[in-house]
Structure 1
Amino acid sequence: MADKSQKLHAIFIPYPLQGHVNPSVQLALKLASQGFTITFINTESVHNQASKAHSKNGTDIFAKVRDSGLDIRYMTVSDGLPVGFDRSLNHDQFMAALLHVFSAHAEDVVNQIIQSGQKVHCLIADTYFVWPSKVAKKFGMLYISFWTETALVFTLYYHLDLLKRNGHFACTDCREDAITYIPGVKSIELKDTTSYLQETCSTTVCHQIISNAFEDTKNADFVLCNTAQELETETISALRKKMSWFAVGPIFSSGFTDRIVSTSMWSESDCSPWLGKKRNDSVLYVSFGSYAHLTKKELEEIAQGLSLSKVSFIWVLRPDIVSTEVPNPLPDGFREEVAGQGMIVPWCCQKEVLAHPAIGGFLTHCGWNSVLESMWCEVPMLCYPLYTDQFTNRKLVVDDWKIGINLSNQKIVTKEEVSKNVNHLMGEKSGEAYRNSVKEVKRTMENGLKPGGSSANNMDQFIKDLKAKIQNIK
């Protein structure tokens, strides 16, 4: 049996995308502060890109953390592709490598750690990996699945078999009526499910990943989720009847804007001098995240709509937002046209910008990290989802929590829609209900993280249950 006094050692492998690495780093820090030893394994590609953006990082992103007494070790591993390969431009090849090749590299690095004589109790890995339960079993570890998205998206994927059986997914002539049979979900329209569930073809590499990953996750000993119980009460209650499932979010550092570990994959512009000259709640923050792409037409309409709105804005415009082959996608003369109205930067520290008192709204793709950060900073949202879970997150933001509005129901957004909705969200009277609602949501999340709150209690219970399960392993 495991020694009761022995420190728990977890190997932690995040999914190699910015939106997954960020909460994984925060969870690693949280567990280390609870006494865990963590061996955090990044891919060489993610590490290389972050190191270029932060020359101070060196070979170990957790070096400063260890100086403060936390036991976090750091390693890198190949994802199966050359470090310089453009993963964003070649998305399907990247996903295929994660589906078919990465498991061998992950297993090899786990084996190295075990062979070095270290006692490892559990493997924490992103739910989207297709191999963790098998690797954990092979090396005698418990498997903790880390889900970085909402409970609603988790349960939709978890019940793929129900969706197939009822003709809402993976069939030649799928039903288009509301889905009413998923446990813990009263009703959801197909347009509010993830992009993968809306697609007619269900055999792509991403569909294979989702299907295989959720079969693997059914073998997890525990699931940790970056959401708050009060935000998705019924869905979480239903999931907890099926598995050891814990809502422990939002997983932020104790100081929201603290950056003791630099994980950004791009160098960041400082927006604070510009924001400091703006009045409170007057600036719209615009960002479509770290990975999603827009078409040139979409981007042009959004640009012209922002100009038309006359609202001050900060726009994070990644150089590859359309494609790495279209580095200057803005309309001719746009930067000059909005010089007094807007600030356009390639990347920034989103938490710092959202936390600034000048920010009054967020035009967002509805990535889950962005939604959580916006709620935490009490910033209402203008929603423009692009793919994957973002459509479901929009439903939660707009319909369930009423802390934002939908930018467009059309296939192609127009500049007139952009201007009208920006002004509606940012208006003193028209935006008041959203600002009030998001303050309530922030209070709920804050209470959940306090001692005795739902997220704090769930984290404590998870650790207690994990220790008990390890004690019972002979």
Structure 2
Amino acid sequence: MGREAVATNGAGSRARPHAVVIPFPLQGHVIPAVHLALRLAERGFAVTFVNTESVHHQTTRALGVHPVGYDIFAGALASSSSSSEDQELDVRYELISDGFPLGFDRSLNHDQYMEGVLHVLPAHVEELLRRVVADPATTCLVVDTFFVWPATLARKLGVPYVSFWTEPALIFSLYYHMDLLTKHGHFKCEEPRKDTITYIPGVPAIEPCELMSYLQETDTTSVVHRIIFKSFEEARGADYILCNTVEELEPSTIAALRAEKPFYAVGPIFPAGFARSAVATSMWAESDCSRWLDAQPAGSVLYISFGSYAHVTKQELHEIAGGVLASGARFLWVLRPDIVSSDDPDPLPEGFLAAAAGRGIVVQWCCQVEVLTHAAVGGFLTHCGWNSILESVWAGVPMLCFPLLTDQLTNRRLVAREWGAGVSVGDRGAVRADEVRARIEGVMGGEEGVKLREQVRKLRGTLEAAVAPGGSSRRNFDEFVDELKRRCGGH
């Protein structure tokens, strides 16, 4: 299977509480899990971080380093041991197989890959846990909510299960209450009701079209549905839920969830100083866009990225490209090679790059944090992934929302309807160049953009206050750590 473990600073770690951190094997889940692992290590936990071999190989390929023996945490650990902190960080890095060969195209064969995550991966995880959980009395599992095995395996091993939720509390609550949606005829029926949903605890009225894509589909037999159903069965058996959100952004939803389970809002979980991460997490080689951005006027560049996972159709891409061109805005467009399909690496309209020469560049990937915080960037055309939203708010950049899949539709509701920090630019299959152009012009140059920027600035203040000493996320994390140390004290 080719597993490898890189032990770092094993000395004296026996006495420490041990957290086994396992992210879901997708880019948007790995990033916050890495930074959560570092936070736990900083608070005295011995951490075992578990990546799949596939994610590890993609990350090392992006870096241009040899995968065998490479520890993504090496840089962060080296800088911690050279600083004057009381203790060195103790993070061991482990790899497991996801059941597929490394050369298997997980993007092109999405459903087959997910069947493996559902049926094959759990056995590899159990084998690994039986090896690394030396003392159940001092160990806890900190595992992505979307896995289908954590509560079951935690019970088998006799350790607590911390469910790590990388999306807003609103999304967690909607999935947690799928039974209510089903009972009221808004889900799992041939013709779901179209009226406003008002009965989810702690969730203000929400429209059916604002639900996650999987809750809008009438065929609920897909592999992703099976994963969601099983993972939320497991979530009911979680001892604690840790959520990458901020209490002040979703107060009523979080209060209602807290009545069900110990629920800690500890976001935003970013790299230290909101800078380039000291841990390698990017699964694509990053282009350095700083020189190009340095040459652009302040606030003039529209940053465009549809994230690391979902696909768009060629038609949608062409409409968006047409709107971008017609707007006359400067732009930096991140277009990963498989955005339409691994079989179509060049999906932009013919002549687009020539027409945009001088005012726009297209790259395969970049360090998003560095781009969003650059003074030249004035707007973000985004798929509304949760990491992207939190990063955009922290950088003070208003959003143009084009959600593609899963939580992104519901995230747009938060951004555009509840917070007033962005605008919608259409929907799947219903995005038109003229609307894209009008929205870009409004956000980048119009009165609308001024209002949005003001609103994003306020939200940024909320995030900053939450993570500052005495802030809600800082307090919640302290409480969580104290509780977990009590639970994993080995007594």
TM-score scaled by structure 1? 0.97
Query: Would the aligned equivalents of 1:11 and 1:120 in 2 still touch at CA under 8 Å?
Result: no
Cα distance, 1:102 vs structure 2: 0.7
Paired with 2:116 and 2:238, the residues of 1 have a C-alpha distance of 23
Q: Which of 159, 174, 178 in structure 1 is aligned with 2:196?
A: 178
Structure 1 residues 312-321 or 404-413, which shifts more? Answer: 404-413
> Which aligned pairs between 1:245-260 and structure 2 lie closer than 5 A?
245-260=263-278
Q: Which of 144, 151, 155 in structure 2 is aligned with 1:126?
A: 144
Paired with 1:469 and 1:262, the residues of 2 have a C-alpha distance of 31
Paired with 1:71 and 1:344, the residues of 2 have a C-alpha distance of 40
1:109 equivalent in structure 2: 128
Query: Would the aligned equivalents of 1:9 and 1:119 in 2 still touch at CA under 8 Å?
Result: no
1:15-38 CA distances to partner (integer Å, 9 max, x unpaired)? 000000000001001111111110
Query: Would the aligned equivalents of 1:364 and 1:370 in 2 still touch at CA under 8 Å?
Result: yes
Cα distance, 1:81 vs structure 2: 1.2
Q: Which of 408, 413, 417 in structure 1 is aligned with 2:426?
A: 408
Structure 2, gaps ≥5 residues long:
1-13, 81-87
Q: Which of 115, 132, 136 in structure 2 is aligned with 1:96?
A: 115
Paired with 2:390 and 2:452, the residues of 1 have a C-alpha distance of 15
1:157 equivalent in structure 2: 175
1:134-166 CA distances to partner (integer Å, 9 max, x unpaired)? 111111211111000010000000001111111
How much is the aligned-residue C-alpha RMSD, in angstroms? 1.7
1:52 equivalent in structure 2: 61
TM-score scaled by structure 2? 0.93
Query: Would the aligned equivalents of 1:123 and 1:144 in 2 still touch at CA under 8 Å?
Result: yes
Paired with 1:118 and 1:351, the residues of 2 have a C-alpha distance of 38
1:222 equivalent in structure 2: 240
Paired with 1:202 and 1:239, the residues of 2 have a C-alpha distance of 25
SS of corresponding position for 2:276:
coil
Q: Which amino acid aligns with 1:71?
A: D
Paired with 2:50 and 2:224, the residues of 1 have a C-alpha distance of 23
Cα distance, 1:468 vs structure 2: 2.6
Residue 142 (1) aligns with residue 160 (2): yes
1:350-407 CA distances to partner (integer Å, 9 max, x unpaired)? 1100010110000000000100100000000000000000000000000000000000
Query: Would the aligned equivalents of 2:137 and 2:488 in 1 still touch at CA under 8 Å?
Result: no
2:461 equivalent in structure 1: 443
Residue 312 (1) aligns with residue 330 (2): yes
Paired with 2:476 and 2:43, the residues of 1 have a C-alpha distance of 13
Query: Would the aligned equivalents of 2:136 and 2:159 in 1 still touch at CA under 8 Å?
Result: no
Q: Which amino acid aligns with 1:63?
A: A
> Which aligned pairs between 1:64-79 and structure 2 lie closer than 5 A?
64-67=75-78, 68=80, 69-79=88-98
Residue 346 (1) aligns with residue 364 (2): yes
Paired with 2:170 and 2:115, the residues of 1 have a C-alpha distance of 26
SS of corresponding position for 1:431:
helix
Residue 187 (1) aligns with residue 205 (2): yes
Q: Which of 33, 37, 50 in structure 2 is aligned with 1:24?
A: 33
Query: Would the aligned equivalents of 1:403 and 1:438 in 2 still touch at CA under 8 Å?
Result: yes
Cα distance, 1:66 vs structure 2: 2.3
Query: Would the aligned equivalents of 2:381 and 2:399 in 1 still touch at CA under 8 Å?
Result: yes
Q: Which of 68, 74, 83 in structure 1 is aligned with 2:102?
A: 83
Paired with 1:242 and 1:20, the residues of 2 have a C-alpha distance of 24
1:277 equivalent in structure 2: 295
Paired with 2:138 and 2:445, the residues of 1 have a C-alpha distance of 54
SS of corresponding position for 1:234:
helix
1:226-276 CA distances to partner (integer Å, 9 max, x unpaired)? 000000000000000000110000001221113210110010101110000
Structure 1, gaps ≥5 residues long:
none
Runs of 4+ in 1 over 3 A off after TM superposition: 117-120
Query: Would the aligned equivalents of 1:145 and 1:223 in 2 still touch at CA under 8 Å?
Result: yes
Paired with 2:23 and 2:225, the residues of 1 have a C-alpha distance of 20
2:187 equivalent in structure 1: 169
Paired with 2:288 and 2:411, the residues of 1 have a C-alpha distance of 29
Cα distance, 1:170 vs structure 2: 0.3
SS of corresponding position for 2:423:
strand
Cα distance, 1:310 vs structure 2: 0.2
Paired with 1:83 and 1:143, the residues of 2 have a C-alpha distance of 29
SS of corresponding position for 1:286:
strand
SS of corresponding position for 2:448:
coil
